[in-house]
Structure 1
Amino acid sequence: MSKEIKAVSTTTINNLVALRNERIKADAKGGVLFKANNYLYNTLADIYFAVSEIVEDKELVKAVREYYAEQRAKEPKSYPAFKTNTPNIYDVCVRLVFADSETTVKRANAYTRVLKILSKTTDAFSNTEELIEYFKANGGIEGIDGDLIKNKEQREKERKAKNSDVAKLKERFVDVKTDYKKTVNISAVDKAAAELAGTNVVLVGVVGKDGSIVVKHVCAEKEFGTRTAANCGAGVVSAALNNMLSVNAEALKELDEKPEPTVGIEAALNNKVNNAIKNRIKQNNADADVELENAA
């Protein structure tokens, strides 16, 4: 570590430790100071600008992380552990100031979320006063964090809607009209037909110069044969179905305008197989009749 890096990191750490000590004293008196919004906003602003000075420098970020790790090694109960070896620098600095026990981690995490939101806002803050005014104008900690929660809820809502579309696609897979109509048989799938019937798979292959595809691998959404849940390729199938949703939007839209199928996908597939067998039997019988006529 260069002298310059060490000097800057030492100054940053000393400032954060001073904020921590002040907060500990306030907590000992019932947290009176931190129940005053201005005082809390001021402390968060100090952390925000402290991080802003080092966030772009990997060596400085590393130095602050290492300081926290060293303190935790000395006093594990006073410096709660992170779930990763390289925690976000905002997490480290906020926890250094606000968390000196496991019970205070939740509070620190809430403050961290707010500072991370502020770091991504298009508003530029040149000093503590501007940041404090931003807190006040946007509903304080709860208001800013509440927006984050709303965003999470919206993403969750979108995720559920997408999952619903995937479920619809899987349920009515046979009915979806696309340009691909080729039916192929893969030995690995044939052997596991009882396990995989009615499920979705992805075939991985190489396209030849003549346009033919040499299939080399199969991914399934459930375990089969010697393939376990860990290596069956369920994630690949899920990604492929999502891709199919985006590419075949119009075809899938048509499904909404049609009545639900009277049979499920597995039954539909079985019907196709049964019909194929019946047609083969009819063809065999017809060939046999021709042979008999020729023999006569």
Structure 2
Amino acid sequence: MLADNHTIFDPVTYILTGIPGTEESHVWIGIPFCLMYVMTLCGNSLLLFIILTEQSLHEPMYLFVSMLAAADLLLSTTTVPKMLAVFWFRAGEITFTGCLTQMFFIHVSFIAESAILLAMAFDRYVAICDPLRYTTVLTKSVIGKMGLAVITRSFCVIFPLILLTKHLKFCRTNLLPHTYCEHMILARLACDDIKIHVWYGVAVAILVIGLDIVLIAVSYGLILRAVFRLPSKDARLKALRTCGSHICVILMFYVPAVFSSLAHQFGHIIPGYIVNLLANLYVLIPPMLNPIVYGVTTKEILKRVINVFYLCWSRSSMLS
């Protein structure tokens, strides 16, 4: 349903057009995207399975890793299947309600991951700076409450944005030049003044994501101060090693987000298809790499991954 620039209409169906300017390559672009999605599903599902079934991994650090894996699965599953449908079958139709639902889960996943990374920074701070109180501070009850707080905060931050978008009046095209429903791309199709949407997005970026980044930086500042006060070099290296995987995941999460945000701000300089491609890679690469980082850098998880594959290989050998 298309409309001219002056007719206000109630949107029923939108059409996701994919990555503008690369229409002839959509089929080929979809292949690596599909492979990354399969790796994301397998890696995060395996990580969840190992952590939830292995009693010895029911510790704060690994429980936070399982939360991160769940958020990654939600983010990628909310976006990639529809993305592939657009690329391979030109099935870009999506209802307005479906678009709002997808937008809600995308942004909730993002806010939740940021909060989980903050919780993991706090976990590392207690483990290194106050190890004697680690088990008494981070009990399973406390971790459960932190998980509930992550979900509640994400919902409370994003739900008003969905309500604001739902009450917009639209009068432009129903073509969305993207592979998934993103808040500002949808809001720009409205006839209404969207300043409140812009300022709400800025407030969330500064007061929520920005605050998370500052608190993570403070945590690691205190961690580094404590590490360099340790008497032996081996003790310092061991302490830093326990933080290595978390630092990698933090960089993989926030750096693409910053680049994507800057690309949107300087969209008049950067070609649109590059901005769009960055936004797509942002929801693909961190969820794919997170389980790899934790699987390779964490000995306990790596050992159990090897055991799982060994058992599978042994069973297949016995059957054959």
* TM-score category, normalised to shorter length: under 0.3
What TM-score, normalized by structure 1, do the two folds share? 0.21
Larger relative contact order (Cα-Cα within 8 Å, sequence gap ≥ 6): 2
